[in-house]
Amino acid sequence: MIIQALAFYLFAAVTVAAGVMVVSARNPVHSVLFLILAFFNSAGLFVLMGAEFLAMILVVVYVGAVAVLFLFVVMMLDINFVRMREGFLQYLPLGGMIGLILLVELVMVGGAWIVSPAAETAALHPAAPAGELHNTRALGGVIYTDYIYLFQAAGLILLVAMIGAIVLTLRQREGVRRQSISRQTSRTRAESVEIKQVPSRSGV
Amino acid sequence: MADMFDLAYDWLNTDPLGQAAYILIKIVAILIPLLLSVAYLTYAERKVIAAMQLRKGPNVVGPFGLLQPIADAVKLLFKETILPSGANRIVFLMAPMLTFILAMIGWAVIPFDAGLVLADINVGILYLFAISSLGVYGVIMAGWASNSKYPFLGALRSAAQMVSYEVSMGFVIITVLLLVGSLNLSDIVMAQQGDYGIFSWFWLPMLPMFVIFFISVLAETNRSPFDLPEGESELVAGFFVEYSSMTFALFFLGEYANMILMSAMTSILFLGGWLPPVDIAPFTWIPGPFWLIAKICVVLFFFLWVRATFPRYRYDQLMRLGWKVFLPFSLFWVVLTAGVLVAFDWVPHT
């Protein structure tokens, strides 16, 4: 038990510290690297809670794919660090106020938290009795039966976002030589090679 | 003497400190053979490729050149570690360590025999997949921190390549999971135990997926013909141009340890892990770990064979293969497998 408590404090402390470093690091690449560290330690927290499937998915999706693309983009940006810091004091009051409003809202939401009756009944009858099923199976059972429409809707939203990104960046350029694999492989010797008998001393 | 063994056995199993020590012993028992096999994998690679190119390969240091890997290691150890003046030092030094560590920790979930596994976790295959997808960070960090053109180009190529091939690898893993009904690596191996021995392993019913998985693994470990991140002919040595001495050695060890890890993953998913190919007497006498090692060696030989045979892919061809060939096909195969399992009521209920 004591090891679990120690592990929890370690993961939690590193997550919070890494989160602070994400916003305070001077170099944006370092920020992304700290973000990855924060993801990792959150995965550790998930494991401590017994949610091993969520922990692994967090690492695979966020650390393995999303953060790689983040890093990919951030590395290629040419950022002037001095100019980025210039307006810090000027924007401090506005930024501070937004932060304060968000904090108050969070406190209000947290203070006036009312669990909906539907959720309460759902909590009374959990989909899988703990210990009998692995949480991968339990999660699958819930997502693909009770919440299938929400799941499909989330998929559709992602699909629309993907199509939007493709439409925004797709452009047809003229004069680009493209390789057409099907045409290349369907070429035969007869249509691409011609043998000529060259008479000597006259050339082709 | 027997009393001492009993005492030690009790201490290792009951005392918390003893349990920690026992885990450490198990880790060492996995890692030392692993590092030795990494060293001799480099030797095997040079010998195999030499044989394919009608050369002799290393044959000077020790009998048959067997001490060559040790000579190489000593040479690298005694060289100077150079830190480029424009480099971002911390990230520069972290990158090789990360590569090496990631190649090691994947072995925690590999089952060597029934019950012979360091961490028998429920989501073993996801853990392996997560660890292998993290390998890209060592490359990206090295390329960025070197603050130099060729490493940076190598890092960008590697990032795009690994993200692309991970997707089809994920789908291949899903098809296997559909057949097994569990994410535990030991369950995956046991699901392949059947009356037909070698023919009831998953490579036969999932043959197209086996091929796709093997090719994706080549891309994931940056091996030829997908070794664009380090392509010697255009990027000098890609992301580790600026590395020397032990920092370079860590990248090197990490790459080869990753190859062995991926071969183990292929053996477990498709080649029946520790199961003997024929379930009759002389074959069942040989203990499971030897079968697993033999299968890993076979897959590794394919790695080397491919390297000696194929030219490097061009970058756009690499992307086309990943996104336009493997991804649609593996997606189709997931749907097909799921459809067949449901239609014939073969869905595993474990």
Quick check: B122 contacting A, CB < 8 Å?
yes
Mean pLDDT of B161-185: 87
pLDDT confidence of residue B162: 83
Burial class (CB in 10 A: 0-12, 13-18, 19+), B55: exposed
Q: Residues B20, B26, B32, B35: is their CA dihedral positive or negative?
A: negative
| Residue A30, token pair as written in the block | 């370092």
Instruction: Tell me which H or E stretch contains B99.
Output: helix B89-105
Which are the contacts of B104, defined by CB distance < 8 A and separation ≥ 6?
B31, B34, B257
Contact B152 A75 (CB under 8 A): yes
What dihedral do alpha carbons A177, A178, A179, A182 form, nearest 10°? -130
Nearest CA in chain B to A77: B144
Q: Give A99-119 pLDDT, tens digit per residue.
A: 999 999 888 887 776 666 666
pLDDT in tens, A135-190: 777 788 888 888 899 999 999 999 999 999 999 988 888 888 877 888 888 888 88
Residues B287 and B115 sit within 8 Å (Cβ to Cβ)? no
Pick from A64, A71, A181: CB nearest B130: A64
Predicted confidence at residue B276, as pLDDT, reads 83
Cβ of residue B121 closer than 8 Å to a chain A Cβ? yes
Of B123, B134, B140, the CB nearest to A53: B123
Q: Cβ separation of A72 and B140 shorter than 8 Å?
A: yes
Which of B87-101, B275-289, B304-318 comes out lowest in average pLDDT? B275-289
pLDDT at A17: 93
Complex ipTM tops 0.90:
no
- Contact call for A65 and B133, based on CB within 8 A: yes
- CA B158 to CA B166: how far, in whole Å? 12
Residues B264/B292, Cβ–Cβ less than 8 Å: yes
pLDDT at A84: 66
CB contact under 8 A, A72 and B162: no
**pLDDT, mean over chain B:** 85
Top-confidence residue, A5 or A89: A5
